Chain A
Amino acid sequence: MLNPRISLGIDISEHRISVALIKQTKAGLKLLKAGEAPVPQGAMTDGNIANPALLAAALRSLLKRKRIGLRQAAVSLVARPVLIQIVDLPEDPPGNMSQFIRGEIRHSPVLAGKESQHDYRRLQRPSRDGLERILVGASDRDKVADMLRMLSLAGVEPTTIELPFMAATRAIHAEKIANRFNANLLIALLHGAEMTLCVYRKDELDFVRYVNLSNEVNDTDRYMRRSEQEINAVIQYYDMEVSAAGDKWEILAVIENPTIAPNDAEFVLQKGFGLDANVCSPAGVYACTRIARNDKIDACSITAAGLAMRNLNAGGSDLAVNLIPAEAEEAKAAKKFVLLTANLAAAVVLFIFLTAGFVRMQVGRTQTMMERRKMDSPKDSIEQLLAQQRRVNHQISYLSDKKTRMGEIFKGEQIYNWPEILDEIRKNIPATLYITKLTTLGGEGLVIEGNALSFKSIHVFAELLERSACVQSAVVAQTQKNSQVNSMVAYSIACTLSTNQEL
């Protein structure tokens, strides 16, 4: 169960479908939702399911109307015949209890010759002979299968199928059964066309009897009269057979039949037996059970409440049987397993599908990006570029070498701007001086020779030459009186020339 603190009980009787949704809180049990619906005409015949689909639709409709989403539920047995019996175990307890019970059931006139579905519960009180006793509940297996089919159609997953009287006694145990040590308590569950009588003696279940009232169910007076007779028979049995004549008796009727008015039942019982008679009906659910009052809900089936309490382990009674066949449990487990496996496989497939989709999307995006990059990227391959680079490097090396070697040819070669030099010389010649010879001196200089009227004019000439841009330096190298011409001075000026930078 998804939420074990909330439990659903579904009780189906001949006339009525009842549901109770109970929550276990710290404060106690709380009735969350309760409701009932009539059994559709033709859905049930003689206490058995005649039309599972019709009954399932009614149940589904009720759950939908009450907005109950929980689908796991404890359900009361809807089948006939039903066997409820306390069986004394032999002194040597049987090794195979199931086989022993099946043997006991085979001797029962109710289920003789039928495939039975049964369950049992050990009782704490031994028999008067000191033998261990068990409470056996059984029904026709085919009827139980019909019921499971109906529940499947209704979308309900039964956690247990239980006898109605067990659910009812569980519901009222804390308030009405427990601690009744000073009296025998006779409980009569009037559940549709069935009546279950059980006697609690010294706080322990001592007797149980299932009575089919289907012949009297349509006549309330007869129904009550028959009930009275059956109750009386039990008390007489105890008076005679159990040596309990002096015991005090209390009678408690649990009414789960909408045709019986609780007040009428109480009146009939008190009048008939002169005993204290209590009646528990859906309207008195809060008084008869431990369920805390919910002002929004006036009434709730006591059996349905007891069924819901079973899953919460909230009842004081330990009486409980489960009539769901083991095969059904296995089938349920197998179905659950298949469902789980299928879900897991589906999740895996979905995961792979989504992953594949995502990856495919990524691949598409990558392809687009690669194509764009291919278009954007340079067309030249790196090999071509590298080869081109090698060629250019080689070319640079070759040209650099060529340039260097060509430059070396002119290394040391001085180029002079002779027209300008000669023009400068001509411009700077003083009037008292003339030149007789101009001679280059190796590659660096020029020697000017001539005659002058005075020494001064020679030096002036040298100074003027030195100021010229074409001449780096002009030094008077030699002066001498001219022996041939009086008053004339022969001179020699050594010049260092400026090279022509342009060439």
Chain B
Amino acid sequence: MAKSKVLKLNPTSKVLVSLSSIIIAAMAAYNWTVGPQTSYLRAAHLYEVMVGDAGQMTRVIKTQMNAKTQTVENLNAEIGRIQNSFFTPKQANEFFLDLEPIAHQCDCTVDKLVFLASESVAYKGGQDDSCSINVKRSAISFTGVYPNIIKFLQRLSNYSQRIVINDLHIESNDLIDGELSCQMTITIYLIEDKEFKGDE
């Protein structure tokens, strides 16, 4: 009897016990049913933010990449243009071999053709860069009338490669229409470039 009285709850205790039970059950139910979903939503939100940032970053990088790719293309074009100024060793040999026939075609008579030793210029490739540039010179002496000398020079200037004429010396004791003696130094640039060779 006494035990039952002790165990009997008063109304306030009943309310508290019931309220606590409901709260505990509600929290448990919330944790079991709603909690995981809200965690997923939170994670999804973070993922969305991250994906948004990544997307924006990707767009920025792609825009930069487009600009840089254009720069690379421009650089390649410019380098290609510069590379066109160079002779390959084969082209150089052919060029020097052609000098006498060209002069002949221009009604000039070659007296002397001296090939000077080639020299390497400042440009050197890197460690893994096989590109190197050499300068090759040739001193030519020939005779011909003034218009033919012009014609000869015109033929040289028709080459797409860079041909530098130095030490030009034209002399005659006769009148302007007479035969002239002409000396000049022809300088060309040779490139030893794997890439360039590959393009050939």
A residues with CB within 8 A of B: 333, 337, 341, 344-345, 348-349, 351-352, 355-356, 359-360, 362-363, 366-367, 369-370, 373-374, 377-378, 380, 382, 385-386, 388-389, 392-393, 395-396, 399-400, 402-403, 405-410, 413, 415-419, 422-423, 426, 429, 434-440, 443, 446, 503
Q: Do B72 and A337 touch across chains, with their CB atoms under 8 A apart?
A: no
B147 CB contacts on chain A under 8 angstroms: 426
Known contacts A344-B22, A385-B61, A422-B150; A399 and B79 CB within 8 A of each other: yes
List of A residues within 8 angstroms of B33 by Cβ: 352, 356
Q: Are B75 and A400 in contact (CB under 8 A)?
A: yes
Nearest 8 pairs of A and B residues by beta carbon: A399-B75, A438-B170, A359-B37, A419-B154, A348-B26, A419-B153, A418-B153, A366-B44
* Docked pose: A360 CA to B157 CA in angstroms: 81
Chain B residues positioned under 8 Å from A438 (CB to CB): 168-171
Name the distance in Å between B18's Cβ and chain A's nearest Cβ. Answer: 5
Asked if B149 is at the interface of the complex by the 8 Å CB criterion, the answer is yes
Q: Do A434 and B176 contact each other (CB < 8 Å), given the known contacts A341-B18, A443-B166?
A: yes
B104 at the interface (CB under 8 A from A): no
Which bucket holds chain B's interface residue count? 35 or more
Cβ of B116 under 8 Å from chain A: no
Known A363-B44, A434-B176; further 6 A-B contacts with Cβ < 8 A:
A345-B25, A356-B37, A373-B48, A399-B72, A415-B164, A422-B146
Minimal beta-carbon separation of B82 from chain A (angstroms): 5
Closest residue of chain B to A413 (Cβ to Cβ) is: B164
Taking CB atoms, residues of chain B closer than 8 Å to A408 are 122-123
CB neighbours of B149 from chain A (8 A): 422
Question: In the complex, what residue of chain B is closest to A429 when comparing beta carbons?
Answer: B176
A377's nearest neighbour on chain B, judged by CB, is B55
Chain B residues within 8 Å of A359, by CB: 34, 37-38, 41
B105, chain A: closest CB distance, angstroms: 15
- List chain B positions with a Cβ less than 8 A from chain A: 11, 14-15, 18-19, 22, 25-26, 29-30, 33-34, 37-38, 40-41, 44-45, 47-48, 51, 54-55, 57-59, 61-62, 64-65, 68-69, 71-72, 75-76, 78-79, 82-83, 85, 121-123, 131, 133, 146-147, 149-151, 153-154, 157, 162, 164-173, 175-176, 189
Write 25 A-B pairs (CB below 8 A) sorted by A numbering. Answer: A333-B11, A351-B26, A352-B33, A356-B33, A359-B34, A373-B51, A377-B51, A377-B58, A378-B62, A386-B61, A396-B71, A396-B75, A402-B79, A403-B82, A406-B83, A406-B123, A407-B82, A409-B122, A409-B123, A410-B85, A419-B150, A419-B151, A419-B153, A422-B146, A437-B171
Taking the nearest CB of chain B, how far is it from the CB of A501, in angstroms?
Answer: 14
